[in-house]
Structure 1
Amino acid sequence: MSPPTTDRRTVRIPWAPSAAPRVRRTLVEDLTDRGIDGEVINEAEIVVSELVANAVRHARPLSDGSIRVHWKVRNGVVEVEVSDGGGPTAPKPSPRTTWGLSGRGLRIVRSLAHEWGVADDAAGRTVWASLGGPSRRRTH
């Protein structure tokens, strides 16, 4: 398969945990086809998994019942976005705990991403992460 001509890709997935494996596969295949560094691909796969899981667990779906996953590539840097309908609290990494059964997702994202942030708008919330280098965004 030849590499995509565009540097952007967007997929909509159902607001359900079962959709995460499909979007991971699509992301990994797309980034592999583009010749992105394997380490950046692995990091992007983990990050998109965590962001989708958080969207399903802590937020509402977009108005059409979906979650939007968008990624773009520039000079080997991958920026991943997951948009949902927003939730009651702002996304932030949970404090470290020895016995906690959840709450590690954004700590994982923070540890892998060069940068990450949250953007709210009238439609909901987007959590984004830049992998392999800095993004062109300057807001967190």
Structure 2
Amino acid sequence: MTILQDATTAPDLPSIGAPNASPIEGTKSVRVPHAHVSVRQARRIVSADLTARGVDRVVVEEAEAVVSEFVGNAVFHARPLADGCVRVRWKVKSGAVEVEVRDGGSDTVPKPVRHSLWAVRGRGLRIVRSMAHEWGVQDERNGRTVWAALGGPSRRRRL
């Protein structure tokens, strides 16, 4: 599997975040193939980076769940970007983490579905909504971005 690393605005990160220190701020992104195996890979990359930055463990775990859901939905429901990938981007600022996944879009709009005891699928965005301070979907000319703010409010408010 090929993972394409995009530029980062964060300084070189230590291998383990310093306890009781403020998280290292910055933005990072990766492009992963539009494939089911990318869900696990994206989750591991984001988790390792946030842990190294010293982000609170609860927020890291929430980010893992959100990345898994967003990348899984992008692979299952949407088209890839023009390069055959899905872009995962995350930003750490003031202790909060904003995660976004961009794909090539689809004919359906991501939204939480009604609760059903018998449903096999459809709980993921309800779980994201329960963890995220806020989340949203932004349609763009060549795709769609789904994002969530964890551990505090987003600075963008693109709902």
Counterpart for residue 67 of structure 2? 48
Q: Give yes or no for the alignment of 1:74 onto 2:87.
A: no
Aligned-partner SS, 1:88 = coil
Q: Indicate which of 96, 101, 109 corresponds to 2:128.
A: 109
- What amino acid is aligned across from residue 65 of structure 1 in structure 2? G
RMSD: 1.5
**Unaligned segments of structure 2, at least 5 residues:** 1-12, 18-22
- What amino acid is aligned across from residue 93 of structure 1 in structure 2? P
Q: Would you say how many aligned residue pairs link Structure 1 and Structure 2?
A: 140
Q: Which runs of 4+ in 1 moved over 4 A?
A: 3-6
Residue 6 of structure 1, CA deviation? 6.2
Q: Indicate which of 39, 42, 51 corresponds to 1:23.
A: 42
Q: Percent identity?
A: 58
Structure with larger Rg? 2
1:7–1:101 distance in 2 versus 1, CA, 3 Å = same
Q: Give yes or no for the alignment of 1:9 onto 2:28.
A: yes
Counterpart for residue 55 of structure 2? 36
Residue 116 of structure 1, CA deviation? 0.1
- What amino acid is aligned across from residue 107 of structure 1 in structure 2? R
Residue 20 of structure 1, CA deviation? 1.2
Q: Give yes or no for the alignment of 1:132 onto 2:133.
A: no
- What amino acid is aligned across from residue 42 of structure 2 in structure 1? V
Q: Indicate which of 100, 104, 107 corresponds to 1:88.
A: 107
TM-score relative to the length of structure 2: 0.84
- What amino acid is aligned across from residue 84 of structure 1 in structure 2? D
Aligned-partner SS, 2:81 = coil
- What amino acid is aligned across from residue 8 of structure 1 in structure 2? T
The answer to which structure, 1 or 2, has the higher relative contact order (CA under 8 A, 6+ apart) is 1
The C-alpha deviation readout for 1:19-67, integer Å capped at 9, x for no partner, is 1111111111100111000000000000100001110111100111100
